[in-house]
Structure 1
Amino acid sequence: MSKVLSNKSNLEVLFEDNHIIIVNKRAGDIVQGDKTGDKPLSDVVKAYIKDKYNKPGNVYLGTVHRLDRPTTGLIIFAKTSKVLPRLNKLFLSKEISKTYWAIVKNEPPKQEDTLVNWLVKNPKNNKSRAYFKEVPNSKKAILHYQVLKKLNNYYLLEVNLETGRHHQIRVQLSNIGCPIKGDLKYGFDRSNKDASISLHARHIEFIHPVKKESISINAPLPNDAIWNACLV
């Protein structure tokens, strides 16, 4: 169920029904408005719905979760106020399975592992720091990774989160010596040309909160040489 339904206004819609719309976020897009004043992805999706269905007045759209601005991949929005709390509940109860792909420079210490850290967010520099034991104001962070492929000079990792902390994948992988390609904030030595980081929300799976049908979607990878090599 990963057929692209629309590419209008550079919006890649991967799934849509009366209740939910799932899109493939591009690097640089912000999910919701912030102090930059840049047009958020939520507004782009609202404009798409308004145009497609010729809706008068304001369009409802509920934001269920977010991705960091330089990352790419799957984002779910609620099209009705009825379904938003149901989707929120699925996220809180971990009934929505999300899988990420990350390209890192260094080989991880193990081919697969579970990382457990305590993270402290510094709002002044919008950065988190990982500790191996609980410290004041820290939150426990757990992720599982495995190496999927060795690329030229890089490694492709699959990551599954148990918790959803600020910059969790970025800081936990950096903490084992594997900063994500392009992620200057967490220790990579140079930026990607498009200012992205090579972290992609690749797969999502859940039971539709209204129809009770299984939804399973892969987000196409960004179109560049290194991501393309992941599929060869």
Structure 2
Amino acid sequence: MIINKMPSEIVQGDKTGDMPLSEKIKNFIKVRDNKPGNVFCGVIHRLDRPVSGLIIFAKTSKALSRFNELFREKTIKKTYLAVIKNKPPKISDKLIHFITKNEKTNMSKAHIKAVPDALRAELDYELIASSDNYHLLKIDLHTGRHHQIRAQLAAIGCPIKGDLKYGFARTNDGGFIHLHSYQINFVHPIKDEPLSIKAFPVTNDSVWNYFSKMNL
């Protein structure tokens, strides 16, 4: 099951006590399929709370195991959209950094050179559209580090709109950031069929709506 997550939603339970998507999906399946017992919903990967977009859940333990294998083998391709204020130094580029995580602040830092305890992080970006005030990047993520896209874009002077934590000037109303999991490509592990899923944010935000009208 693939869900287009809203930015306020959490994937798994946390200290806030808010109901996570995994539980909402269980409740939905229980009602839809009239299931009397427990419903399985496996969390395969995650998106940060202020981030929106496509996320995969497994409805069976077998599917969870297969999808976990696909992620380990890096055969699932994830593409993101990010809105930034500052134009990047190049129209397209490959960014390679070394990420360290600060557990106390729950933030990551992207270093140009390898440092102790750092993990290599890699992504490709392309500037695909611009408005009078903002630019839209398409990002192909090759590694899945903590806050990777947020930290790497901040490192080149292009923090994501609304991402106060990584250097943007102000927050968005509602606390979301303009980072969206836009497309997922993979071969279905059970049916062995290639799948490509795309979805824009479901929102009233004027910036996202401006870019969604373009033929991207």
TM-score w.r.t. length of structure 2: 0.96
> Does 2:130 correspond to 1:138?
no
Shift of 1:222: 3.2
Task: Specify the alignment match of 2:8 in structure 1.
Answer: 28
SS in 1 for 2:10: coil
Aligned length: 212
CA RMSD of aligned residues (A): 0.8
Question: What do the CA deviations read for 1:125-178 (whole angstroms, capped 9, x no partner)?
Answer: 100011111111100000100000011211000001111000000000010000
Alignment partners' CA distance in 1, 2:176 and 2:169? 14
> Does 2:197 correspond to 1:217?
yes
> Does 2:41 correspond to 1:41?
no
Task: Supply the AA of the counterpart residue of 2:175.
Answer: A
Q: 1:97 aligns with which of 52, 72, 77?
A: 77
Unaligned segments of structure 2, at least 5 residues: none
SS in 2 for 1:47: helix
Alignment partners' CA distance in 1, 2:6 and 2:140? 21
Task: Supply the AA of the counterpart residue of 2:9.
Answer: D
SS in 2 for 1:190: coil
Alignment partners' CA distance in 2, 1:220 and 1:48? 23
Alignment partners' CA distance in 1, 2:95 and 2:200? 27
CA contact (8 A) 2:81 2:179 kept: yes
> Does 2:191 correspond to 1:208?
no
Q: Which moved more, 1:98-107 or 1:29-38?
A: 29-38
SS in 2 for 1:137: coil
SS in 2 for 1:82: helix
* Aligned ranges 1:1-232 → 2 under 5 Å: 21-223=1-203, 224-230=205-211, 231-232=213-214
Task: Supply the AA of the counterpart residue of 1:201.
Answer: S
Shift of 1:194: 1.8
Question: What do the CA deviations read for 1:172-230 (whole angstroms, capped 9, x no partner)?
Answer: 00100000000000000111112100000000111110111111111132322111111
CA contact (8 A) 2:6 2:201 kept: no
Shift of 1:34: 1.0
Alignment partners' CA distance in 2, 1:74 and 1:126? 23
Shift of 1:37: 1.2
Task: Supply the AA of the counterpart residue of 1:153.
Answer: N
Unaligned segments of structure 1, at least 5 residues: 1-20
TM-score w.r.t. length of structure 1: 0.90
SS in 2 for 1:83: helix
